[in-house]
Structure 1
Amino acid sequence: FLLLSLLKPGATADITRADGVVATFKVDSVQTFSKNAFPDQQVYGDTPDAELRIITCGGTFDHAKQDYKDNVVVFAHLDSSRQG
């Protein structure tokens, strides 16, 4: 996930489900949030349709805490699905 923050809207991610169906998600946005003000509802809340969130660490590394100060979140929606 090192380069996750470089994804652009319109990029796609294929996810193979346990039943063999491949779900293709299209990126809507990539946003960075401070871990101190992370928008739980926006990221984890219910959505009316199938959506994907990909989350990783980002921003400045805090050596004292041995952790990054931010999270990078990719917001994507289901674009299509097919048998794998």
Structure 2
Amino acid sequence: MAVGHLDTDSGPAVFAGLTELEPGRVVQVRRADGRTAVYTVDAIKSYEKAHFPSQEVYGARGRPELRLITCGGNYDRRKGYSGNLVVFAHLTGTR
């Protein structure tokens, strides 16, 4: 799992491009051991904060999976974003 900002007061942040991902796209993650984990995107889902499915996002799975989580939904200057965007992906290789 990785959590990052969509944007900041000064512009786009690390997860600004998550909204452009589609199922079947590949996400590569550099591991601490120097190898690269390759994940294939299964789905991108938006959730309102009041209905965030913790078990679906954080629960145990029978295979190695990745979740990329950022803010999403409507933006209010006083309250921030109304929800979250979650990218669901599974491990398809290592290099």
- Is the structural similarity TM-score above 0.5? yes
In the alignment, structure 2 segments of 5+ residues that lack a partner are: 1-14
In the alignment, structure 1 segments of 5+ residues that lack a partner are: none
Does residue 14 (structure 1) correspond to residue 14 (structure 2)? The answer is: no
Question: 1:63 deviation in Å?
Answer: 2.4
| Residue 55 (structure 1) aligns with | 69
| Residue 69 (structure 1) aligns with | 82
| Residue 36 (structure 1) aligns with | 50
**TM-score of the superposition, structure 1-length normalised?**
0.91
Higher relative contact order (CA 8 A, sep 6+): 1
**TM-score of the superposition, structure 2-length normalised?**
0.81
Whole-Å Cα distance in 2 between the matches of residues 17 and 64 of structure 1? Answer: 37
Whole-Å Cα distance in 2 between the matches of residues 21 and 75 of structure 1? Answer: 21
Whole-Å Cα distance in 2 between the matches of residues 34 and 62 of structure 1? Answer: 14
Kindly report structure 1 stretches of 4+ aligned residues shifted beyond 4 Å.
Answer: none
Number of aligned residues: 81
